[in-house]
Structure 1
């Protein structure tokens, strides 16, 4: 990105009023841009949530793991706040080359810091792709679907597993994948024979997916909230407390990031110790996620109330029905939007550390590297879902108009809040039915996970 900002040949010529129609990028320029974005996606996927898992692997006790995840997200949100304000300010007001150059220098410093600790890290030895073992369990169970169950059946155990406990009764069909029959031969594991541990690992994934799915819709609501908040800000007075400084509409999301950072600090230094002292046990991941659900709905309610007031001010100033093709600015301070943004930021302070800790605890050991990436996946799916819901609302109602003063964004917020509460009920059902795993590796972690 620094090179594209530095060399004019890597980007189209600036578009001015005298150069209409604007010059389109060449295939070469498009290629450089897409390759750059592809590298950014690969780097993002290979660092952010892999770092979360690798950092947690350095600790043995659940309390330290929970504290690590809190600080991990705190640092991540603080960095996001800096990048969305200071870096963007440099790019807009000084130089895009300097703005991108600062990020290059930052990445180099981070790489040096990471490599300097190489000899101290505890590194888990890879045992092959965990997804292969999942596929093997399914294939082996399907192959043995006609094998009749009988007393005294022999199951295949991992060579490192000294236990002889039979597979659990849940999803009993999958137990056939670890069932030994004469045709299996001497191999301890294959596409026709899995181990009991592999079968139980797959069952754990199946059990946790309903909980994961309850957060997908929540992520979609957050995506819509962010988009609609920017639209609201564009139609309101964005001057900072009456000064001449005007806050860019998209920069209001900074208050969300700031609230998350502050809430994480308060949670780690104040709320969690007080909860442990008063209740006698730590705040569980499921409880953190549940609180996040409730706060998310409250943020939507707060936005609906602000939108009602915004429309009232627009009506009282005769700013509705002007039919000029654009939304007229309403004389209402956009700083009111900080209230729902702060509530949403606090919600994320509960949600993300709770989710990442839950997945890290409950996922099979071989899949813990994937467990922390589940948050990134649910955010991606949720944001795609938000686009679909927004399109559906625009096609079937008149609530979302190009002129926001002509629409009823407040009704949309009330509807999203209702959806959030229904989704919270779904989460409670999933949490009630969810059974935490308990095996010889995770008995200590279960003390934190149980609720």
Structure 2
């Protein structure tokens, strides 16, 4: 049965009545995913004897996939299934993966047997155990990624006729999302470390079941819309059409370009801009492109001028976008190695409480949340009063770059001190360096994120044309996903070309890795300043005309 159009929807569907169902679903599914991913490195090392650096690599791959999969899920939802179907199918896939992961901590035949004390060799572990483990990780990651972006989209769809309410929805949606992430990285991780992995993972299963069930319970209240196609399809059509017509000579008159089916050609006809002129061929009207009724005979051979210009806007912003690849890579390295550092440090607070290694990353979330609040209420108004100008997205991203490589420098200093303490204490019964030494670098990481992440979202939403506004979040997700894969590649290169990252980080030089990232961060910042200097805002009405790029 086809979903009714917006005009035919019963009055009981949509609106704020759907808010509790969507928020509860998001909290449950976030608890389920965060509960095992935040402690994945520790689980792989302690229960499956995976080498520490390999465990960090697997974590990077999972985090990368967790950011790229939502983009694919959004395309599927927009083009084929719709948000509702995509969410409930993905939640079931996530549940299957989480159950399978819980079984690896429960069923003896799926758990590697620990080596006997004093034994010089261990019994080879059955490959089926690792097949089940990695299958569980893949399914749980795939399912979680399928719900991450679509839940926020279906929530906004319920308030489609109230844009101001959509803004309120997003504020609360991300508040509960961050809150659930904090709970997952502290309470659930604590249970896994101090009670048992089995109990912790089954808490994740229960959270997944609860989130999925509540989402389905709200089905009768949701406004469900038919898929209208993905903006990525429009971009792909511009590329295909321009290549197909690569031998067609470019005309000079606006009447030779397709303006769109709903525009009056004589009054609104325009010639595409001269930048990236090759793409203009996608809008040239050739024989057979237009039917007798005025419709397009093949949408992969003819695009409107607006579609071509939208694609050019995307190309112009790509250099700025690419400058954040290295930024994300340094963050990925720091987050994964901070857990390994925590495992080698004293994590006791008092005589009875020990901080789980996977929970140290909560300091990033806390500092991000705190500084976002400070920016809104104190720092941004103070900046405006002092300069008479508001902080532009480019300036905000630039500050994030600087704080990021400063954070890497602090990481290098702390790791140098940790290595010295570890080596001086080797063979002696002396307490290791406190894990609280990691707080400054993680806090700086969170502050940098509070600058550059919202700055990038703001820039993309401001600069993208209306038809591509939904791509702003996708651009961030793709960026984060690629950055985590670049993190894995960088670590692999360092392992192959140096002795800095052995299985035991106490025998390596992780501090040297951090200092290389500092140098790379400074160089990358120079690249960013160059891109920002040459970039011209597309939507000048949304920017203070007196403001300058962040490189001055």
Contact residue 139 and residue 191 of structure 1 kept, 8 A = yes
Alignment CA distance shift 1:123-1:175 (3 Å): farther
Bigger Cα displacement from structure 2, 263-272 vs 171-180: 263-272
Does residue 271 in structure 1 map to residue 410 in structure 2?
no
Alignment CA distance shift 1:287-1:123 (3 Å): farther
The alignment partner of 2:483 has SS state of helix
2-structure distance, mates of 1:31, 1:336: 37
The alpha-carbon deviation at position 437 of structure 1 amounts to 3.2
Bigger Cα displacement from structure 2, 220-229 vs 363-372: 363-372
2-structure distance, mates of 1:211, 1:431: 7
CA RMSD of aligned residues (A): 3.9
The alignment partner of 2:147 has SS state of helix
Does residue 371 in structure 1 map to residue 472 in structure 2?
yes
2-structure distance, mates of 1:384, 1:54: 29
Contact residue 70 and residue 353 of structure 1 kept, 8 A = no
Residue 181 (structure 1) aligns with: 286
Residue 233 (structure 2) aligns with: 132
The alpha-carbon deviation at position 164 of structure 1 amounts to 2.3
Residue 515 (structure 2) aligns with: 414
1-structure distance, mates of 2:170, 2:501: 38
The alpha-carbon deviation at position 305 of structure 1 amounts to 1.8
Contact residue 397 and residue 456 of structure 2 kept, 8 A = yes
Does residue 250 in structure 1 map to residue 358 in structure 2?
yes
Superposed CA offset, 1:369-400 (max 9, x none): 44313323222221221222222223333333
Q: Number of residues paired by the alignment? A: 436
Give the TM-score taking structure 1 as reference length.
Answer: 0.80
The alpha-carbon deviation at position 82 of structure 1 amounts to 0.8
Unaligned runs of at least 5 residues, structure 2? 1-97
Matches within 5 A, 1:37-436: 37-53=137-153, 58=159, 72-94=173-195, 96=197, 98-107=199-208, 110=211, 126-153=227-254, 154-161=256-263, 163-186=268-291, 187-188=295-296, 190-240=299-349, 243-276=351-384, 278-279=386-387, 282-314=390-422, 317=424, 319=426, 331-436=432-537
2-structure distance, mates of 1:157, 1:70: 38
Bigger Cα displacement from structure 2, 3-12 vs 143-152: 3-12
Contact residue 70 and residue 264 of structure 1 kept, 8 A = no
1-structure distance, mates of 2:316, 2:372: 29
Unaligned runs of at least 5 residues, structure 1? none
Bigger Cα displacement from structure 2, 48-57 vs 117-126: 117-126
Give the TM-score taking structure 2 as reference length.
Answer: 0.67
The alpha-carbon deviation at position 226 of structure 1 amounts to 1.9
Superposed CA offset, 1:73-115 (max 9, x none): 4543332121011012233444555544544554565557767
2-structure distance, mates of 1:281, 1:59: 33
The alpha-carbon deviation at position 36 of structure 1 amounts to 4.6
Bigger Cα displacement from structure 2, 185-194 vs 295-304: 185-194
Contact residue 67 and residue 268 of structure 1 kept, 8 A = no
The alignment partner of 1:87 has SS state of helix
Contact residue 408 and residue 441 of structure 2 kept, 8 A = yes
Bigger Cα displacement from structure 2, 186-195 vs 333-342: 186-195
Alignment CA distance shift 1:278-1:47 (3 Å): farther
Alignment CA distance shift 1:150-1:21 (3 Å): closer
The alignment partner of 2:302 has SS state of coil
Alignment CA distance shift 1:301-1:55 (3 Å): farther
